[in-house]
Structure 1
Amino acid sequence: MPTTAVGLGLRRALLGPLQAAPAGDFDFLECAPDNWIGVGGRFGAALRELSARHPLVCHGLSLSLGSTDPFDDTYLRKLRRFLDEHRVPVFSEHLSYCSDDGQLYDLLPIPFTEEAVNHVAGRIRQVQDALGRRIAVENISYYAAPYQAMPELDFIIGVLAEADCELLLDVNNVYVNAINHRYDPQAFLDGLPGGRIAYFHIAGHYDEADDLKVDTHGAAVKPDVFALLDDACRRFGPRPTLLERDFNIPPYAELVAELAQVRDVLAGHAPATGRHARA
């Protein structure tokens, strides 16, 4: 995908507008395969039609990379077939855990320790072997911090290096965590290995208080988050950027207008040549 590509999350409530969208509204789509594997009927047909016309990236919800629970090999085989069927160029998962002898239905932070780096990296390598491809992991938002023997930044860098995987950089999560845990978001960006960034996420959040932000994906992107996206592009160059909106979904035209804002930020950092991201 071009580094200036903008994308939108594929939600069932948006299927009609996405199918009817004129060229130029968006450049790619992202779906959670957990919600689409095995889906048939009109929804399955709509997904196949959209993925035939637009690049489709996938963002997993349930692998629970930080857990000690064994992976479901049957699910991994189904996931690989799904990624192959839809020619998915990038699959990502959250750098978190969401299971403990059963699904917990939340994305929980992993302790920031050297032992956890080794554990999670080993599990990522298992997933990469099972899927036959490198994956990207996403920095999550978190509120109650587990045991931290190292900073979040060092933990992420360690996992990326040990697992030899890529990073899905969620810019809104960097902003939210920086406010909630009182660190400098620019310094956080400075420390990241830019060469491993596959693409960006950007989303809205809820201002609970001046010092407490909640990552909701249920509102428009805040100006401060757009500014941080601009900072990220200045450091790393533009990357394909996905607008997340999971709740309080507005009329489709409002999402297109917000995508245009994202496109303007990326275009402001696009070099004259070499605009294509690495495969």
Structure 2
Amino acid sequence: MSELLAGLGLRRGLSDALQSVPPGRIDFMEVAPENWIPVGGRLRREFDRFAERYPIYLHGLSLNIGGFAPLDRDLLVSIRQFMSDYACPLYTEHLTYCADDGHLYDLLPIPFTEEAVKHVAERVRQVQDILGEQIAFENASYYAAPGQVMSESAFIRAVLEEADCKLLLDVNNIYVNSINHRYDPLRFLDELPLERACYMHIAGHFEEAEDIRVDTHGADVIEPVWDLLEAAYARTGPLPTLVERDFNFPPVEQLLSEVDRVRAAQLRQQAAVELS
């Protein structure tokens, strides 16, 4: 998937403004399948118009891969059908848990332990068997690490290797975690299994305090995160990359300028490779 592709998340609060975007400004769109699978009527027709114009990537919210409740097989079968209906190139999810006798409406950190690696990897294999393909998991933002035995990067590597799945590299999450947990983001990047990276996210966040960042997807991308994206491309090549914005939407041209900036970074990396 080493392609020069820069995308934007399709959110209902943006749909009216995005309908008039000229061809070539966005290469693909991403949606949470849970938000669109049950939808019909006017909203489905609107979605179908976007799907006719753009490849649709899927980024799930409720797989609960780290949880103990049985996997939602009905949801996974619906996602498989949705992927088939819309020729979706990729389904990704969060390396978190989000349910315990009911949905918790938050993405919570899985303990970084060998026991958790085996538990999660077995569930990932089940998901991939149902879907009939590899999926990718995102390095998540988190604010506490209960029961930590392994490092975050070692945990991610162990899960991906044992489950034989791919990595969604979220550059903003690395930056947020590096501030909150006081580590070097470049060193962390080098510790990840980047050979499994197939897709990237970049987003804005909220500065709660000098040493606390909150992953909100509700602000512009800041310069240190852009720098980290360039560093990631230098290690992985220019993978398809999504600009995430979930609320507090600016004028659409401002979002498109961030998409343009992703594409420019990809082109610089491609040129650097060709010159080397």
Q: TM-score range by the shorter chain?
A: over 0.9
Mapped to 1, the partners of 2:47 and 2:196 lie a distance apart of 29
Q: Deviations over 1:225-262 (max 9, x none)?
A: 00000110111111111000001011111101111122
Quote the residue 1:180 is aligned against: 180
Classify the secondary structure of the residue corresponding to 2:13: helix
Deviation at 1:271, TM superposition (A): 4.8
The sequence identity of aligned pairs, in percent, is 56
> What is the TM-score of this pair, normalised by structure 1?
0.95
Classify the secondary structure of the residue corresponding to 1:161: helix
Quote the residue 1:85 is aligned against: 85
What letter is aligned with 2:70? P
Mapped to 2, the partners of 1:50 and 1:115 lie a distance apart of 42
Quote the residue 1:106 is aligned against: 106
Equivalent residues in 2 for 1:11-30, closer than 5 Å: 11-30=11-30
Q: After the TM superposition, which of the residue ranges 193-202 and 219-228 deviates more from structure 2?
A: 193-202
Mapped to 1, the partners of 2:194 and 2:145 lie a distance apart of 25
Mapped to 2, the partners of 1:170 and 1:118 lie a distance apart of 23
Quote the residue 2:49 is aligned against: 49
- Gap runs ≥5 in structure 2: none
Mapped to 2, the partners of 1:185 and 1:88 lie a distance apart of 31
> What is the TM-score of this pair, normalised by structure 2?
0.96
Contact 2:2–2:237 (CA<8 Å) still a contact in 1?
no
CA change 1:272–1:261 in 2 (3 A) is: closer
Classify the secondary structure of the residue corresponding to 2:76: helix
Q: Deviations over 1:11-59 (max 9, x none)?
A: 0122222222111211000000010012111110111121122111000
Equivalent residues in 2 for 1:129-148, closer than 5 Å: 129-148=129-148
Classify the secondary structure of the residue corresponding to 1:57: strand
What letter is aligned with 1:141? S
Quote the residue 1:277 is aligned against: none
Is 1:220 aligned with 2:220? yes
Deviation at 1:98, TM superposition (A): 0.2
CA change 1:223–1:87 in 2 (3 A) is: same
Q: Deviations over 1:142-180 (max 9, x none)?
A: 002111111000000000100000000000000000110
Classify the secondary structure of the residue corresponding to 1:188: helix
**RMSD, aligned α-carbons:** 1.4
- Gap runs ≥5 in structure 1: 275-279
Quote the residue 1:191 is aligned against: 191
Question: How many pairs were matched up?
Answer: 274
Mapped to 2, the partners of 1:13 and 1:205 lie a distance apart of 19
Is 1:270 aligned with 2:270? yes
Quote the residue 1:235 is aligned against: 235
CA change 1:104–1:16 in 2 (3 A) is: same
Mapped to 2, the partners of 1:236 and 1:269 lie a distance apart of 10
Is 1:170 aligned with 2:170? yes
